[in-house]
Amino acid sequence: MVDQKRFALFLATPDSEFVKKEYGGYHNVFVSTFGDEGEHWDSFRVVEGEFPDENDLDKYDGFVISGSSHDSFENDPWILRLCEIVKKLDEMKKKILGICFGHQIIARVRGGTVGRARKGPELKLTDITIVKDAIKPGSFFGNEIPDSIAILKLHQDEVLVLPESAKVLAYSEKYEVEMFSIEDHLFCIQGHPEYNKEILHEIVDRVLRLGFIKQDFADAAKASMENRGADRKLLETICKNFLKGRVPAN
C-alpha cells in the first residue's frame, strides 16, 4: 500500500461568516483547491496561536501558509512563532507554498524585506507576467509555460527586497515580485489561487462596509471580474505539481 500523503495548512486568517456558510470554512476552500483524493490534510489556526508540535513536522510532505489581514512585518507573538516554524521547515527542506501573507513571511524568514506596497493596495483580478527564462521546462509549471496568468489579488503589503537566493517567477505593472521560488522547496505567490469570484466579491462588500476602501475602489474591483475569470485551473495545477513533486508528462 502506498503511504498516504500528509499536508498541513497554516491558517493565518479566521473564517468569515460567508466562507463558513458557503464552504464550511477556509480549510475546505484550500483543500478543494490543492488537495487530492486519498490525502490527509490538517489545519492549524496559527492566527489563534495553534501550531503543530515541532516533533510532528517531519510527518508532513508539504505545507501551505494562507493569506491574512495581519501585516507580515509585524512582531505579534504568533507571527514570530510562525517565522520560527518556517525557518525550521526551510532547514528540513520541506515544501512550503506561501500565499499572499505566506509569500511575504517566507521572504522575511529568508532575509528579504517586506512592507507596505509602494504603489498602494490591490483588490482585483489582474494579470501577472511570467519570467519564462527563470522557469525550467518540465518543472512544476509544466512544458507549456504561459506568458501571463490571471489571478485574484487582495493585499496592501509586498515583498520589497527579495532574499538573495530567490528567483522572481512573475511580476506585474504595480509589483516587482508576484511569484518567487527558492531552491526546490519554497514557492510563493502574492495573489490568491484558492479564491473564486464569489469569495472576493464578499470581501469587497465587507471591507467597503467597514470603511476600509472607498466606493470607486470597490466598483473597480468588481468590474475587473465582470467579463472574465482567474486562471484557476492552471494555478491549481502549478501549485499541486509543486507541492506533490510532480513532473508533468509531455
- What amino acid positions are annotated as catalytic residues? 100, 192, 194
CA angle 181, 187, 191 (to 5 degrees): 110
**Helix, strand or coil, per DSSP, at residue 235:** helix
Measure the CA–CA gap between 23 and 39, rounded to whole angstroms.
19
Residue found under cell 470603511: 211
CA distance 215 to 77: 35
CB 239 within 8 A of CB 34: yes
> In a 10 Å sphere around its CB, with 0-12 CB exposed, 13-18 middle and 19+ buried, how is residue 182 labelled?
buried
